[in-house]
Amino acid sequence: EVEKLPRVKVEREDRIIDSAEEKDTAFLVSGDPLTATTHYDIKHRAEEKGLEVKIVHAPSIFTSIAETGLNVYKFGRTVTLPEDSAPQSVTDYIEKNDEIGLHTLILLDINYRAEKASEKLIDLKEELADRETIVIERANSDSQKISSGKLENFTEKELGNPPHCIIIVGSTSHKEEEFMEAYR
């Protein structure tokens, strides 16, 4: 039996651990399972209860970003932009990354579309509208697509199915700019 859990049920309920106490249980996630603090917390709490935990690592957005042509060493702190809220910390970390010339990877909830997230980012901080941006659609899949342009252009663009993530581009080298042109 497969049950899709929304983010709130994963973060605020013990369904996964409760199930694992009764029967063999798998918790499937997109990407690498331990890059999210919540996932590590589930692992830790299960081990504290004496449950056997086996981790199967998978391709991750943190390696997929290299396909954009941006230098992976020039990414600053990653942020998450939830669909149901607009934390000020998102724009705070974009600013902090900008101060030292770093790119910002913005993770979106699994069904949250980059078009809507772009609107929210601009609502949070209008100056972001003119920023160079890269959107990755369906990273690590056969239908992966990478696009680049100004953030405001993504509010009108019709993108494919999620998942999506957004990169606010920091300072770029000549090569990074050349690579980004391929995705316009």
- What are the residue ranges of CATH 3.30.950.10 in the chain? 61-181
How far apart are alpha carbons 35 and 48 in whole angstroms? 20
Task: Find tokens 């690592």 and name the residue.
Answer: 57
Classify domain 61-181 at the CATH topology level.
3.30.950
Whether the predicted pLDDT of 10 surpasses 90? no
Confidence of residue 121 (pLDDT cuts 50, 70, 90): very high
Q: What beta strand segments (E) does 18-137 contain?
A: 79-81, 104-108, 132-137
Q: Supply the pLDDT for residue 6.
A: 83
pLDDT tens digit sequence for 139-163: 999 999 999 999 999 999 999 999 9
Contact between 115 and 153 under an 8 Å Cβ cutoff? The reply is: no
Whether the predicted pLDDT of 164 surpasses 90? yes
Whether the predicted pLDDT of 9 surpasses 90? no
pLDDT tens digit sequence for 23-60: 999 999 888 888 878 899 999 999 999 999 999 988 88
Please state the pTM of the whole predicted model. 0.84
Q: Read off the tokens for 168.
A: 């606010």
Closest CA to 137 of 2, 56, 30, 36: 30
Contact between 56 and 130 under an 8 Å Cβ cutoff? The reply is: no
Coil, helix or strand at residue 19: helix
Q: State the sign of the Cα–Cα–Cα–Cα dihedral 160, 8, 133, 60.
A: negative
How far apart are alpha carbons 74 and 150 in whole angstroms? 19
Q: Read off the tokens for 22.
A: 């009764």
Cα dist. 163→61, 132, 134, 138, 158 in Å? 11, 20, 14, 5, 14
Of 152 and 11, more confident: 152
C-alpha radius of gyration, the chain, whole number? 18
